[in-house]
């Protein structure tokens, strides 16, 4: 999956950005419209978005470091793309 919604000449492909955002949020069960500003979200929704971003940025096979170290294998998030 492409993780950079930019086009040539530095412009942003908003459709690609919104689709990537939808997929990223859906992957962790977050129900927030991609068009919403983070400043308008509740604290809990901001935390969910931060978690979704972190998971999105992990490479396949990577772990969450110290955060995932104490989890049993069955509790760890699947980071495979």
- Domain membership of residue 73 (yes or no) is no
Residue 74 belongs to some domain of the structure: no
Q: Is residue 48 part of a domain?
A: yes
**Is 3 domain-assigned?**
no
Strands (E) across the chain are located at: none
Whole-angstrom CA distances from 29 to 6, 8, 45, 49, 75 are 25, 32, 11, 10, 16
Domain interval for residue 24: 8-61
pLDDT by 10s per residue, the chain, length 81: 455 665 566 777 888 888 888 888 988 888 888 888 989 999 999 999 998 888 888 766 666 665 555 455 554 455 554
Spatial separation of the C-alpha atoms in residues 44 and 16, rounded to whole Å: 26
Task: Give pTM, 2 decimals.
Answer: 0.59
Number of structural domains the chain divides into:
1
What integer pLDDT is reported at residue 55 of this predicted model? 83
């Amino acid at each position: 999956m492409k993780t950079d919604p930019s086009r040539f000449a530095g412009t942003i492909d908003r459709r690609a950005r919104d689709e990537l955002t939808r997929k990223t949020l859906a992957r962790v069960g977050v129900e927030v419209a991609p068009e919403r500003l983070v400043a308008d979200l509740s604290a809990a929704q901001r935390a969910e978005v931060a978690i979704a971003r972190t998971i999105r940025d992990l490479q396949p096979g990577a772990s969450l470091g110290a955060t995932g170290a104490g989890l049993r294998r069955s509790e760890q998030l699947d980071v495979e793309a």
